[in-house]
Amino acid sequence: MNNSLDKIYLDYAATTPVDERVIEAMLPYFNRQFGNPSSVHIFGQEAEAALEGGRETIARILDVSAGEIVFTGCGTESDNLALRGIALERKLRYGADRILISPVEHHAVSRTARQLADHFGFRVEFLKVDSFGIVDPDYLRRIIDRDVAIVSVIYGNNEIGSINPVEELGKICRNYDVPFHVDAVQAAAHLPMRGIGNWCDAASFGAHKFYGPKGVGALFIRKGTPILPIQTGGGQENGIRSGTQNVPYIVGMAKAFELAQTEGLKNQASLIQHRDRIISSALENIKGIYLTGHPIKRLANHASFVFEGVDGNQLLILLDAAGFACSSGSACKTGDPKPSEVLLALGISPQVALGSLRVTVGKYTTLNEVEKFVTALPLLVNKIRKLLMELKGG
């Protein structure tokens, strides 16, 4: 009665269930073809074949060469490797010490940049975003120079769904020979990734955002891009990321990526339909609610809001009790929510930023589930506002 089976999952941006076909693809590599890909013997050769097959699959989808794919432990690790590895190497080689990021990055990027500034002598500068959280290319043009070690911008925003003009930003960087990294962790499930090597030098992916397993990610790193290995050891992954590769998970990631970039991209229309139903219904039926992020240039599955006079954490709890699993920018399991830095960067007040909600649909979401949700949401928001009034009055 209290378990998750009869609940409605609307948090696909947090993670996704693993596709059955992906599980199928992974299974042989746990206990049958279980070898270490670095081993000389047949067990190792079988594992290596699977590993390199996975690498080739991803390279083919991106239209890059296999040697430009590095497998990691997750999207966050990919972001860390790109930022830290490229920035440090560019500083060592050329003395480049500026890091340009947007103020709406995932913590995997923003906190890595902050550490590089605090402890490794870099200067972090923030690009300008508009009220939708979209980066202004003209501002980048104005401040970029050859002393910039790396520019990093999120492709599709995890919190507010906005899609950045990454191609334009990447081409600006290339004019200055400055490496451009995109955090494509959210975008990979919804936007075509083919040809990204034409405008970016590094791109981060995490498998569990597109129906693959947790605990595996990849970094596209364009040939010739200076990068210092962050994890050293046996020299796997071209020496860029040492450590025995997680073969079954890599196989799963490749399968999931292939599915996402083929049939997944074809299914975007139904996601958009669900998304727009949620957005228009919420804006219509609830007072004091605002869409966060861009109304059109946004991820196909992503609806995000802020509410006046609603505690976002409380709303999540109520939604969960009513059977809906959602998320918020200030989600906090310990009852100590902080307003999201991303929402503050859009100019939203801290009080309103605490009242945020993120609803993200996926390929298993049904119209019936969406209808149940849009019926329940206004009632729950009213309940919370009523409780708040009572507590203030009494």
Partner 1 sequence: MKSEKVAIAMSGGVDSSVAAALLVEQGYQVFGVMLRLWSEPGREGSNRCCTPDSMAQARRVAAQLKIPFYAINAQDIFRQVVVEYFLDGYRSGITPNPCLLCNRFIRWDFLLRHVQTMGAEKMATGHYARLRVATNGNVKLLKGHDENKDQSYVLSVLSQEQLQHTLLPIGEYTKPQVRQLARDFGLPVAERQDSQDLCFLAGQDYREFLKRNAPDVIKPGKIITRSGQVVGEHEGLGFYTIGQRRGLGIQSTDPYYVVDKNVEENLLIVGEESDLRFVGLIAEDVNWIENTPPALCFDAEIKIRYKARLVPGIVEVKDRQIVQVQFDQPVRDVTPGQRAVFYQGEEVIGGGMIRKAIPISTQEEASS
Task: Write down the least CB distance from residue 339 to partner 1, Å.
Answer: 13
Chain residues in the site for partner 1 (CB under 8 A): 1-3, 311, 313-314, 317-318, 320-322, 332-337, 383-384, 386-387, 390-391, 394
200: annotated active-site residue: no
CA distance 152 to 185: 13
Asked whether the beta carbons of 118 and 278 are under 8 A apart, the reply is no
Active-site choice (173, 200, 326, 332): 332
Dmax (CA) of the chain: 75
Q: CB nearer to partner 1: give 254 or 318.
A: 318
C-beta closer to partner 1: residue 40 or 391: 391
CB of 107 to partner 1, least distance (A): 19
d(CA 123, CA 68): 28
Q: Look up residue 218 and give its two tokens.
A: 């990849």
Question: Do residues 74 and 216 make contact, with C-beta atoms less than 8 angstroms apart?
Answer: yes
- Contact between 362 and 267 under an 8 Å Cβ cutoff? The reply is no
Q: Residue 261 or 314: which CB sits closer to partner 1?
A: 314
Closer of 27 and 379 to partner 1 (Cβ): 379
Q: Is the dihedral of CA 190, 194, 198, 201 positive or negative?
A: positive
- Provide CB contacts within 8 A for 20, sequence distance 6+: none
Q: Which conformational region is residue 182 in: left (phi greater than 0), alpha (psi within -120 to 50 degrees), or beta?
A: beta
For partner 1, the closer of residues 121 and 335 by Cβ is 335
Nearer to partner 1, 224 or 335 (CB): 335
Angle in degrees, CA 180, 346, 185, rounded to 5: 40
Residue 308 beta carbon to partner 1: minimum distance, rounded to whole angstroms: 17
Residue 299 and residue 163 in contact, taking contact as beta carbons nearer than 8 Å: yes
- CA 110 to CA 69: how far, in whole Å? 23
Shortest distance, position 384 Cβ to partner 1, whole Å: 7
What is the nearest approach in angstroms of partner 1 to the Cβ of residue 235? 39
Checking DSSP bridges between strand 302-307 and strand 356-360, what pairing results, if any?
antiparallel
90 residue type, one letter: R
Q: Give the span between the Cα atoms of 220 and 188, in whole angstroms.
A: 12
Q: How far is the CB of 81 from partner 1 (least distance, A)?
A: 30
Complex with partner 1: residue 20 or 390, whichever CB lies closer: 390
In the complex, minimum distance from the CB of residue 335 to partner 1, in angstroms, rounded to a whole number:
3
Question: Chain centroid to CA 6: how far?
Answer: 27
In this structure, what is the dihedral angle of CA atoms 378, 346, 327, 279, given to the nearest 10 degrees? 40
Beta bridge partners of 359: 303
Residues annotated catalytic, as ranges: 332
